[in-house]
Chain A
Amino acid sequence: MAGYIVRRVLQAIPVLLGTTFLIYFMVFALPGDPVVALFGEKTPPPQVVEQLRERYNLDKPFIVQYLIFLGNIFRGDLGVSFSGQPVADILAQTFPVTLRLAALSTFFLMVGGIGVGLISGLRKGGVFDASALVVSLIFISLPIFVVAFVAQYVFAIQLGWFRTTVGVGAPWQDLILPALVLATASFAQIVRLTRASVIETEGQDFVRTAASKGLSRNRIVPVHILRNSLIPVVTYLAVDFGTLMVGAVVTEGIFNVPGVGRTVYQAIIRGENPTVVAFVTVMVLIYLVVNLLIDLLYAVLDPRIRYAK
């Protein structure tokens, strides 16, 4: 197990370096001049350009710039936003809100997606299964901002069940609607995975054995079928973490949730490139760490992975 952990962590290092390099490369080596891009349509005075070049180390060779950037990240220095606040501070303020939104959304996703997938799988070919398939297809096709606006219009503006935007301090009841919207982004995939997994598990010998032992259906379904069907579903949640992050940017922007996503959304809208880059880098790092952790957790659960070369 220790060998597996070391190997997996070592494998993550080049990917980590590669992704940060790639992001840095995109911003500072592409033909667009990042300093000029800061000013949008206006032409900046040359002194300001000079000063900014120095501040972002653009006067040094590219590889030196990258190493300084990397060193700063590992020291927790993510730069300063346009309003003068350190990006790391903004992150510390907004992250808990996003974490709550993500947790609530994942809860809805697990309950709804696994529930529907389980019933579909157990009643394969039935009316419920067919309708779930159609609904999941529609959810796959709807971009998340369309879902967000429709939900906002129907449930907040027309029916008045929720507030249109999230209030100060982001209370739980205000987060319900954005969390539901965020959950729809992966709902269809979870339903399908659970369904396929349930169908596969139901055909296994141990399920037949359980039935022939005379166990009731109420015991076979949760204990024997559901539990054994969940591994691919839980793994998918980690892979799908990227969808969650992109979804959070859009949903938090639309519902005005004071989280990481809205900060990125506003930075994009205002064209604050350094802030966008800092946050995207952090998001990618979180994504990598989450995937690494899930891989390790998976190895704890399934010895076949641990010993595979």
Chain B
Amino acid sequence: MPSNVNTRPDQQHFVAPIEETPLVAIDAVKTEGKPTNLWTDGWRDVRGRPMFWISAALIVLVVIVALFPGWFTQVPPNNDCQLANSNAGPTDGHPLGFTKQGCDIYSRIIHGTSTSLSVGLIVTFLVAFLGIVFGAFAGFYGGWLDSVLSRLGDIFFSIPYILAAVVVMSVLSQYANVWVISIAIGIFAWPATARVLRAEILRVKNADFVMASTALGVSSFRILLRHVLPNSIAPVIVITTISLASAIVAEATLSFLGVGLPSSTMSWGNDISAAQNDLRTAPQTLILPSIALSVTVLSFIMLGEVIRDALDPKARAQR
């Protein structure tokens, strides 16, 4: 190392002279501005994107249709069917025509909304709950608890959840309803969430603020709840939004396979399944509920994408 005026004889590294130190940078920190965090940054990012508003509007519409089907149609979906109208086209008061059983397609689509949405929500709550409990305990406490919980997760993860739900639902066929089918899907869908959360917690738990809390004598469960979990929940929110869409697809697939909801329950999957043999002669009976299903799924997927882009800096960089 060349000798330098600022270097003392025993000093091994170079120290910049005081006039070269960029003190300006420290002075330039704004003190009056609002502090930002992941969530406020995320919200600022999200609200500027048209995709967010489109998906949010669609979801609000789906929720309203599910809660108040009577606002959209006066035709009863099941009781007013006449075989004379089988697969007939649109008529006055029946804008989308009729199913094979002569029921009003529009009314059945409207009344099927709440089924899809309920399954989606129940599965999502179940997946989020199981995923957070398993992922948080496995990641935070580690050791043998991690081994046991992670292997348990591996076992559930190794069975594709639709196949697992097919097996459960074919055994429980006489009990099939919205709750049973949601539990059958959710009980096998949580490991993905648990894995994501576990990985995130492993990253967060070595942070300085966690060590600081430990030093202050905060109990470990409280650290997990108040400090670690809130800082590692972002990827869980993303995966949860997308899992809502997957759950809706899963219910429709099971109903399509004939091991879903009983035919008395209004379900898009059931209607698609019932229409499949008439694809050649009356494609609209199959296409229309498919469109309703796909648009609902699309709106949740879009929302998940927007949230991911907003919360994940890496995804933002690749945009």
Contact = CB atoms under 8 A, between A and B. Distances in A.
Given A143-B249, A277-B167, A149 B293 contact: no
B158 interface: yes
A292 to B, nearest CB: 11
A18 B155 contact: yes
Given A15-B155, A157-B280, A273-B171, A246 B297 contact: no
Contact of B297 (A37, A141, A149, A271): A141
B94 to A, nearest CB: 23
B8 interface: no
B181 interface: no
Contact of B253 (A18, A145, A291): A145
A243 interface: yes
Contacts of A291: 158
A287 B152 CA distance: 17
A263 interface: no
A149 B286 contact: yes
Contacts of B319: 125
Interface string A21-34: 01100110011101
B305 interface: yes
A152 interface: yes
B254 to A, nearest CB: 9
A140 interface: yes
B165 to A, nearest CB: 10
Contacts of B297: 141-143
Contacts of A254: 276
A147 B167 CA distance: 24
Interface string B141-181: 00000000001101110111011101110111111000000
Nearest to A145: B256
Contacts, number: 143
A142 B154 CA distance: 28
A69 B63 CA distance: 46
A268 B159 contact: no
Interface string A55-86: 00000000000000000000000000000000
Nearest to A40: B173
From A22, A145, A157, A276, name the one whose CB has the most chain B CB atoms within 10 angstroms: A145
Contacts of A88: none
Given A19-B158, A137-B298, A280-B163, A26 B256 contact: no
Contact of B257 (A149, A150, A195, A250): A250
A246 B258 CA distance: 15
A141 B294 contact: yes
A145 B272 contact: yes
Interface string B32-59: 0000000000000000000000000000
Contacts of B276: 149, 254
B160 A287 contact: yes
B318 interface: yes
From B156, B162, B175, name the one whose CB has the most chain A CB atoms within 10 angstroms: B162
B38 to A, nearest CB: 21
Interface in A139-189: 140-146, 149-150, 152-153, 157
A48 interface: no
Contacts of A142: 294, 297
Nearest to A121: B318
Contacts of A296: none
A288 B158 contact: yes
B287 interface: yes
Given A143-B297, A146-B294, A243-B160, A27 B171 contact: yes
A250 B318 contact: no
A122 interface: no
B245 A265 contact: no
B175 A32 contact: yes
B279 interface: yes
A18 B302 CA distance: 36
A308 interface: no
B170 A271 contact: yes
B105 interface: no
Given A137-B298, A152-B279, A250-B253, A31 B175 contact: yes
Contact of B279 (A27, A153, A199, A243): A153
A22 B172 contact: no
Interface string A265-294: 100110101001100100110011001000
From A32, A250, A291, name the one whose CB has the most chain B CB atoms within 10 angstroms: A32
B158 A284 contact: yes
A37 B258 contact: no
Given A15-B158, A245-B163, A32 B318 contact: no
A32 B272 contact: no
A14 interface: yes
B318 A196 contact: yes
Interface of A: 14-15, 18-19, 22-23, 26-27, 30-32, 34, 37, 40, 124-125, 137-138, 140-146, 149-150, 152-153, 157, 195-196, 199-200, 242-243, 245-246, 249-250, 253-254, 265, 268-269, 271, 273, 276-277, 280, 283-284, 287-288, 291
Interface of B: 151-152, 154-156, 158-160, 162-164, 166-168, 170-175, 245, 249, 252-253, 256-259, 272, 276, 279-280, 283, 286-287, 290, 293-295, 297-298, 301-302, 305, 318-319
23 contacts: A15-B155, A18-B152, A23-B164, A30-B171, A34-B171, A37-B171, A124-B318, A137-B298, A137-B302, A141-B245, A142-B294, A145-B253, A149-B290, A153-B287, A243-B160, A246-B162, A254-B276, A265-B257, A268-B258, A276-B170, A280-B166, A280-B167, A287-B160
